[in-house]
Amino acid sequence: MYNAITMQKDFKALAAVLAPDIPPEKLDGVVKPMEGLEAQFRPLVARIPLETEPSYVQAVHPEPSK
């Protein structure tokens, strides 16, 4: 069953769709570091409370405040 938190991504499959111009002989060099990063990053997502906003949010200022 798919689990968004724990499931590791298949980066070769992603590359085939999102970046088909990556030369085949370069693909392992692109994908391998991503697998290591994924293993570190994926478990962190589970700890984000729903109401947490991203650090980078839209800010609108009345002119000419900035």
Partner 1 sequence: MTILEAAAQMAAGKLSSAELTRAALASAAALQGKLNSFITVMEDAARDRARRMDEERAAGRNRGPLHGIPVAVKDVFCTNGVRTTCGSKILAHHVPEYDAAVVERLDAAGAVLIGKTSMHEFAYGITSNNVHYGAVRNPWNTDCVPGGSSGGSGTSVSAEIVFMAMGSDTGGSIRIPAAFCGTVGIKPTTGRVSRYGVLPLDFTLDHMGPLTRSVRDAALCLQAIAGHDARDDSSSRQPVSDYLPGAEVSIKDQRIGIPENFFYERLDAGVERGVRSMAALAEKLGARLVSVRVPDMASINAVGRVILLSEASAAMANFMDRRAEIGDAVITLLDQGRLIPAVDYVNAQRLRRLYQREFAAVWNHADCLLVPATPNTAPRIDQNEVELGGVREDVRLASTRLVRGINVLGLPALSMPCGLADNGLPVSTQIIGKPFDEATLFRVGAALEDASGHKNLRPPVL
Q: Which residues bind partner 1 (CB under 8 A)?
A: 9, 11, 14-15, 18-19, 21-22, 26, 29-31, 33-34, 37, 40-41, 44-45, 47-48, 52-56, 59, 64, 66
Decide whether 1 or 47 has the Cβ nearer to partner 1: 47
Half-sphere exposure in the Cβ direction for 48 (13 Å, CA): 12
Nearest to 35 by CA among 57, 63, 13, 51: 13
CB of 1 to partner 1, least distance (A): 19
Strand, helix or coil for residue 39? helix
CB of 3 to partner 1, least distance (A): 14
Q: How far is CA 19 from the centre of its chain?
A: 15
